[in-house]
Amino acid sequence: MVNITLQMERCKGCGICIANCPKDALAFSNHSNHSGYEYVQVNEETCVKCGTCYIVCPDGVFVFTETITE
């Protein structure tokens, strides 16, 4: 199972991930992080964990973890 977590403190609010997300699962959160940037949030219900945001994000906000059960 793949999980997506966001490192909000790294986000600089450039919005590139929002424009690229194929499922429109990302949006600005109306909250600011310590650096003063409005960070993004993910809608877990529509997100399909495709990894697009990971590829286009310049700041390493998105972390995908895969848990393999044996």
Partner 1 sequence: MAKYTKYPELLSPNGWCPGCGYGIIARLIYEVMEEKGVSQNHIYVGGVGCNANLYGALEGGNKVECHHGRAPVCANGIKALMPDTFVFTIQGDGDCYAIGMGETIIAAHNRFPITVFAVNNANYGMTGGQTAPTTLTGQVTTTSPKGKEGKPFDIIPQMRALGVDYCARGTTASLAEIRKLKKYITKAIDLQLQERKYAFVEILSPCPTNWHKSPLEANEYIMNNVIKYLPLGEYDTSKEE
Greatest pairwise CA separation for the chain in angstroms: 43
28: three-class secondary structure by DSSP? strand
- Please report whether residue 1 would count as binding partner 1 according to CB under 8 A: no
Select from 27, 43, 46, 51 the one that contacts partner 1 (CB under 8 A): 51
- Told to check if 41 binds partner 1 by CB under 8 A, we report no
In whole angstroms, what is the distance from residue 42 CA to residue 12 CA?
15
For tokens 């909250």, the residue is: 31
- Residue 44 lies near partner 1 (rule: CB under 8 A): no
Interface residues with partner 1 (CB under 8 A) are 9-10, 12-16, 19-20, 37, 51-52, 54-60, 62-70
